[in-house]
Amino acid sequence: MKLLRYGPAGREKPGIMDANGQIRDLSGVVADISGDVLSPAGLERIAGTDPESLPVVDGKPRLGPCVGAMQKILCIGLNYSDHAAETGATPPTEPIVFTKQLNALCGPNDDVEKPRGSQALDWEVELAVIIGSRAKYVSEADAMDHVAGFAVMNDVSERDFQTQRQGQWTKGKSHDTFGPLGPWLVTKDEVADPHALGMWLDVNGERRQTGNTSTLIFDVPHVVSYLSQFMTLMPGDVISTGTPPGVGMGMKPPRYLNVGDVMTLGIDGLGEQRQTVVEARA
């Protein structure tokens, strides 16, 4: 299933994409794409509903982030061997974990703000893992039982804020609009192998990133299990698993985003995003 949220920011409704690519309204079935709706029982309930019986959503509404009411956005740094190489970093021996604050979350086609004082705004196409049921001290063997599905995320980053301003990475990762998520959550039953997905990102029509989840250093079960040793993962939590090579920081010389630039990005089977860079709003 392809589950989504549509409508004005902060007032999104739940939806599902039917076999013809038409959005159907799920409001009569679930309140939102969040919480227990993402559990095996919740997804089974949606799967038992015939999309053709649901109201058609007319036009092309704004798509919001495909998951609502989450508690955490967790991210894994330097998790692609070829990306680590381009940045000159030694591949990590265990996952590098940082957070992206919830205010960063936005729809897949919303504008991305360039923060005041930003000189190094960067792009990162990433595979996002959506947690479906509570996970604490889970094994790698059981980790996928706690995953609802997958989505595209752009881990937008301000590199100077991230690396030159001391402290941890969070302040370079958490500006408003730094977390476009969607267009939809693809349930795991429709993703044959999350470790064999092509991914790409263009800036102004020029290819910048080309990669494949096959070069992940730490795969999805490992990451879910690892995180669950340090914190309880809750339904709706998002794990952004890292980016392949081609980020602006890794170019020689580095190339960064400016107001008016357009990013388009996607992952095989998970859909595409499009964002325009704008000046930060108060």
- Are the C-beta atoms of 163 and 89 separated by less than 8 Å? no
* Residue 75 in tokens: 């991210």
Q: Can you tell me the distance from the alpha carbon of 170 to that of 183, in angstroms, rounded to the nearest whole number?
A: 24
Q: Pairing state of beta strands 238-240 and 73-77?
A: parallel
Query: If you ran DSSP here, which 8-state letter would residue 89 be given?
Result: P
> Tell me, what's the pLDDT at 89?
77
pLDDT of residue 166: 81
Evaluate whether 66 touches 4 at the Cβ level (below 8 Å).
yes
Quick one: pLDDT at residue 112?
98
The H or E element spanning position 141 is helix 140-143
pLDDT of 230: 98
Structure tokens at 148: 């609802």
Domains of the chain and any CATH numbers: 68-279 (3.90.850.10)
- Residues near 251 by beta carbon (within 8 Å), at least 6 away in sequence: none
Q: Pick from 146, 148, 151, 123: which is nearest to 268 by CA? A: 151
Task: Please choose, from the candidates 39, 149, 169, the residue with its C-alpha nearest in 3D space to the C-alpha of residue 104.
Answer: 169
Splitting the chain (282 residues) into consecutive groups of 10 residues, what average pLDDT does each group show? 98 97 97 97 97 96 97 96 79 95 98 98 98 98 98 98 88 97 98 98 98 97 98 98 96 97 98 98 92
pTM score of the predicted model = 0.97
Whole-angstrom distance, CA of residue 185 vs CA of residue 213: 17
State how beta strands 271-279 and 262-267 pair: antiparallel
- The pLDDT tens digits of the residues spanning 6-50 come to 999 999 999 999 999 999 999 999 999 999 999 999 999 999 999
